Amino acid sequence: MTSTTPSTQTDEPAGGVVKRRRDRAAREREILEAAERIFGERGYQGTSMDDVAAQVGVSKPLIYQYYGSKDGLFLACLARLRTQLLDTVSDAVLAAPDAEDALYAGFVAWFEFLDDHPQAWSVLIDEGMLGMSPAAGPAAQATDEVRAAFIDLIATMVRMNLPPGRTPDEDEIQIVAQSISGATERLAIWRSRTPTPPSPQKVARTLQTLLWQGLNPLRTPTT
């Protein structure tokens, strides 16, 4: 009687797990990209999970499985955009050869990012869409965290470029960082409402020229 030898275990089960993980990551990216567009266009209240599911071509229960609720999906969009924006601006600033160019490069990166993600402003920064939302508390906190991280980046850049012997004045640094952050937000709102807005490069250059002159006192060594 011929014995049957058990088949040798292959890598197929592990490969299947890897493929499922990869498929899920791709699907989550598609869901977040669609949700970003719809939240940005319609606001939180005007968006339903059915809208997002139809846009992506998946079932609504699958989105609930991934994110738990519409609040969870909205906050996942905020987290994704926050990481993308801060990474983009940080990379541009760190690659610049000096402080003046870093200021310009950071502004260009900021405005180019918003141009490349036309609904990002509504989702990421504009709190007006959150007024009646059940997610308003966590979402408002998330947008504040974006601002705080951006302000910290500006403040760090200012500290790093103080002249030798200049003792950092943290009040002055915060005033500068908060002012720059506020200016970029207002300019982003203005550009989003202007039919033919100036290019990111023109806005960045004008803002850099204005601010760089105002930063002269901080760039002067103390005597």
Of 50-54, 115-119, 125-129, 195-199, the least confident: 125-129
Query: Does some domain include residue 37?
Result: yes
Query: Does some domain include residue 132?
Result: yes
Total domains in the fold of the chain: 1
Query: Does some domain include residue 7?
Result: no
CB of 119 closer than 8 Å to CB of 39: yes
Supply the range of the domain harboring residue 61: 12-218
Query: Does some domain include residue 3?
Result: no
Query: Does some domain include residue 2?
Result: no
Query: Does some domain include residue 6?
Result: no
Q: 10 Å Cβ neighbour count for 3?
A: 4
pLDDT tens figures, 143-173: 778 788 888 988 888 887 777 777 888 998 9
Query: Does some domain include residue 192?
Result: yes
Query: Does some domain include residue 5?
Result: no
Question: CA 63 to CA 69: how far, in whole Å?
Answer: 8
Q: At residue 177, what is the residue type?
A: A
What CATH number should be reported for the domain holding residue 75? Answer: 1.10.357.10
Predicted local confidence at residue 149, as pLDDT:
85
At 155, list the tokens: 């403040």
Sign for the pseudo-dihedral over CA of 173, 176, 182, 187: negative
Predicted local confidence at residue 132, as pLDDT:
44
Extended strands (E) in the chain: none
Q: What is the pTM of this model?
A: 0.73
